[in-house]
Chains A and B, each alone.
Chain A
Amino acid sequence: MELSRRSFLAAMGLGTATVMAGCATTSGSGAPVADVTGPAEGDITFLCALFEGATGKETLEGNLLKQFKEKYPDVNVTVDYTDYASLNEKITTGLASGLMPDVVTLGVGWIPPFAFKNAIAPLPESLATRYTYEDRVLEPSRFDGTLYALPMVLDTRIVAYRKDFFEEAGIDGPPKDWAELREIAKQLTVRDADGTLQRAGFDPFSIDLRQCWETFLFGNSGELFSADGREVLFDSPEGVAALQLFLDMVADGSADFSLTTEAGQPTTLQQGTSAIMMTNNSLYVQLQQQNPELIDKIGTFVLGNTGPAMLQGGTMISQSASSKNPAAARALVEFLGSPDAVLVAAEQRGSVPAISDLLDSDYVQGNPMVAFALENLDKARSEGGTPAWMEIREKIKPTLETAIVGQQTAQQAIAQLAGIADDAIARL
C-alpha cells in the first residue's frame, strides 16, 4: 500500500508543474488593448534577457534605469534577469500565474505567437518612424501589419573565413555560390595520414542547425511560411536543397557534424580546425578576448546561392497586454528602444544595434563584424512569421538532425517537418 501510494504521488508530481500552469487564470485572450492615456506612474516589472552578469546589471540599473527614473520619477521598475534559454519558460509561467511582466524582451519570430494570443499590446506606428530602421529589422516586430515591439539589438549569422588558409591554398576570395563553397571547402579540408580530420573546409554546425539551415534556405530564395503565416513554404525544392547541401558536404568530408565547440570556447575557426564557418557577429568580441592575433586573419562575407542572405536574430522589447500600469510600461518600452539605450545594450553584449542611425557610432565603427552586419541589413532575413512558431521552432533542429545523422533523407526530413508545422498551424 505504501509503495503504491508513493509511486502514485511521485508520478503525479511530474505533471504538477504543467498543471499548476493549467489552473491559473489566463491573461491573454480577449485582453483589451492597453490604455496609455494616463500618467506614467506605478510599479512595473521588466523581464530582461539582455544585460547579463554583474556588468550588465550595473549598465541597466546603474545607468539606464537611473536616466529613466529621472525622466519618470513616479515609475518604479523591478528587473527580472534571465537568459534566452529560460526566457520562454519565464513568460509561460508568468502568463499562467497571471504575473506576466509589464515589459518583456522577446526573440525574433516570437511576436506573431504572442500578438495572435493578445499577450502583448500593440504599439503606435509613430514609434516605427521616430528613428531610422531597415524595413527588414522592423518586419519581425509586426503582426498583421501592426507594430507590437521595438527592436533593440540584432544577432546576425554571417560567414567567417580564415584569410591565411585561403592565401595558402591560392584562393582569391570568398565563394559566390554553393558550388564554389563546396569546391573551396574540399580544397581547404585537411586530413592526417590515417584519415583523421584536422581541418574541415566548412563548419556549418557550430551555430544552431535551425538557424544555419534557415540562412541557406533564404540564400536559395526559399521562404519559411506564406505572408499570412498559415501555409508552410519551406517544403520546397529550395528548402530540401539547403539541407541536402549539408549532407553533401558531410559526404564530401569537408564538413563534420561532430565538429562543434561549447559556448564560450574558442570557435573552430579560432582553433584552426575549420577554414570557413557559420558564425555570429559576436565573434569579434570573442577574438578580442581570446585570440587578438587572429583578428586580421579573419574575414566575413554574406553567402547565398541565388541571392545573398544573412539571418537576423535579435532581441525586441514589448509591452504586456495585461499590464496594470500601461502608461509606465509604454514609457519604459519607448525609453529602451531609444538610440542611447540600444547602443549601450549592443555594446554590452557585442551585438548589432537595431537602429541604422548608429552606424556612425564609435562602437559600431570599432567593431568590424558589427559594422559589416549593419551595412548588410538589407540582406537580412528573419525566422518565424507564423503564430504557431513557438511550437514549430522547437521541432526544426532535431528533425533536421535526423537527416544529418543519416536516419532519413533530406526530402523525408523536410516533409516530416512540414507535417509537424501543418499540424501546429491547424491547431491555431
Chain B
Amino acid sequence: MAVVSAPRAVRAPSSTPPRSPAPRRGRAAAARRRAGMLMVAPAFLHALIWIGIPVIAAFVLSFTSYDVLTQPRFIGVQNYLDAFGDPVFRRGMLNTLVYAFFTVPVAMAIALLIALMLDTQLRARALFRTAVFIPQVTATIAVALVWLWIYDPRSGLLNAGLSFFGLPAQNWLSSTTWAMPSVITVGIWQGIGLKMLIYLAALQSLPKDVYEAASVDGASRTRQFFSLTLPLLRPATFFVFVTSVISAFQAFDLIYILTDGGPANTTTMMTYEIYKSAFREFRVGYACAQSIVLFVFLLVLTLANRRLNGGDSGRH
C-alpha cells in the first residue's frame, strides 16, 4: 500500500511549491523572454526612431501645407486632392505601374531561366553567376552613366549596332516613344542578379527524391518543371515578386540620371515626383501625401498578391 500511495502523493497538488520544477521553468522562461527582448531592443529602437516616428510625421504632415520655411498649416485632405488632381503625378502613377508591369514579370522570368541554367553542371558556372550578379552590386548611378553612353544617339553602342545592320539610329532617351522602353530595359537588366540568386538558392534546396519519383513515373522534364519545380518555388516566387514590386515602385536613381523624368513627363515616376515636390519645390506636406499614396499602392499590391498566392507559407 505504501508503495502505491507514494506516487499519488507525488502527483497530488502540493502546497509547498519551492521544491517543484514548475517555477524554475517559469523563471527560465522569463529570463529567456528578457534576453529576447534585450536582443530585439536595438532593432526595435532603430525602427521606432528612424522609421516609426518619420512614418507618423509623414502621415500628420500630409494633412498640412508645409514648405520647410514656415510652420505647418493644417489643410485637411487638400494635399491628397491635389495629388489626384495633378496630371503629372497621375502620369507618374501610370508610369510607375507600367515600369513595374514590365520589369517585374519579365525580369523574374529571365532570372528563373538563368537560375535553371546555372543550376546545372555548367562549366565555369561560378563565373556566369558572378557576371549575372554584378549589376546588382554596382551603384545605380554608375549603371545609369554606362547606359547613358550606350544610348547616346550619336556615339552610343546601341545606334552603332543598328547602323551595322543598316537600321536607322534612334533617340533612345529623348523620344517619347523610346524613353520608357529604354529605362525599362535598364531596370530589367539591373534587377536580374538578385532574383536569379534567390531562385538559384531555392532550386538547390528542392527535394531530389520528388524528382526521382517523378522520373520513375515517366514524367518528362517539361512536366516536372510545370508540375513540380514551379509549385515548389512558390515561396521564393512570392518573395521575389514582393521585393521586386517594391523595388520597381522605388525606381528613382535611374530616372534621375537617364531622363530627368522627360521628355514631357513620359518617364517620371511616383518617387521622382515626391523628390521634386519635397526638395525642388519646397512642398514637403504635399510630398508626404504623395508618399502615403505610394505606401497604400504597395500595401494593396502586397496584400493582393499574398491573398492570390497563399503567401509565403510554402503550401505545396
Task: Mark A residues whose CB is within 8 Å of B.
Answer: 2-4, 6-24, 26-29, 88-89, 92-93, 95-96, 113-114, 117-119, 196, 257-258, 260, 262, 390-391, 394-395, 397-398, 401-402, 404-405, 407, 416, 427
Q: B287 to nearest A CB, angstroms?
A: 4
Question: How far is it, in angstroms, between the C-alpha of A231 and the C-alpha of B138 when the chains are bound?
Answer: 48
Tell me which residues across on chain B come within 8 A of A407, comparing CB atoms: 176, 264
Find B58's partner among A22, A29, A92, A390 (CB 8 Å cutoff). Answer: A22
Asked, given contacts A258-B174, A404-B264, whether A11 binds B246 with beta carbons under 8 Å apart, the answer is: yes
Instruction: Report A-chain residues with C-beta under 8 Å of the C-beta of B175.
Output: 258
Q: Is the CB of A17 within 8 A of B299?
A: no
1/0 contact string of B281-307 vs chain A (CB within 8 Å) = 111110110011011001100110010
Q: Give the residue of A15, A17, A26 whose beta carbon is less than 8 angstroms from that of B55.
A: A15
CA–CA, A96 and B54, complex, Å: 14
Q: B238 to A3, Cβ gap below 8 A?
A: yes
- Add 9 more A-B contacts to A258-B153, A258-B171 (CB < 8 A): A14-B274, A15-B294, A18-B274, A19-B291, A21-B68, A29-B71, A391-B283, A402-B265, A405-B263
Tell me if A398 and B264 are in contact (CB < 8 A): yes
Is A19 in contact with B55, judged by CB distance below 8 angstroms? yes
User: In the assembly, what is the distance between CA of A391 and CA of B280, in Å?
Assistant: 7
User: Which residues of chain A have C-beta atoms less than 8 A from B191's C-beta?
Assistant: none
Residues of B near A18 (CB, < 8 A) are 58, 274, 278-279, 284, 287-288, 291
Report which of A9, A390, A401 forms a contact with B263, defined as CB distance below 8 A: A401
Known A-B contacts A15-B55, A401-B263; the reply to A4 vs B302 at CB < 8 A is yes
On whether A14 and B281 interact (CB within 8 A), knowing A257-B174, A258-B174, the answer reads no
Q: How far is the CA of A4 from the CA of B72 in the complex (A)?
A: 31
Q: Is B57 an interface residue (CB 8 A)?
A: yes
Residues of chain B contacted by A390 (CB below 8 angstroms):
280-282
B171 cross-chain contacts in A, Cβ below 8 A:
258
User: Which residues of A are found within 8 Å of B119, using beta-carbon distances?
Assistant: none
Contact across chains for B69 and A119 when beta carbons are under 8 A apart: yes
Q: Decide yes or no: A7 and B298 within 8 Å by CB, A23-B54, A262-B152 being known contacts.
A: yes
Q: Name the A residues within 8 Å of B176 (CB-CB).
A: 405, 407
| Contact (Cβ within 8 A) B51 A88 | no
Partner of A17, one of B174, B249, B268, B278: B278
Chain A neighbourhood of B279, CB < 8 A: 18, 88-89, 92-93
Stretch at the interface among B34-42, B59-67, B127-135: B59-67
B228 within 8 A of partner (CB): no
Is there a chain A Cβ closer than 8 Å to B186's Cβ?
Answer: no
In the complex, what distance in Å separates the CA atom of A113 from the CA atom of B47? 36
**Contact call A14/B278, Cβ cutoff below 8 A:** no
Known: A10-B298, A19-B58, A22-B66. A394 touches B276 (CB 8 A): yes
Shortest Cβ distance from residue A103 to the other chain B in the assembled complex, whole angstroms = 18
Q: Is B88 interfacial (CB 8 A cutoff)? A: yes
Pairwise interchain contact B58-A3, C-beta atoms closer than 8 A: no
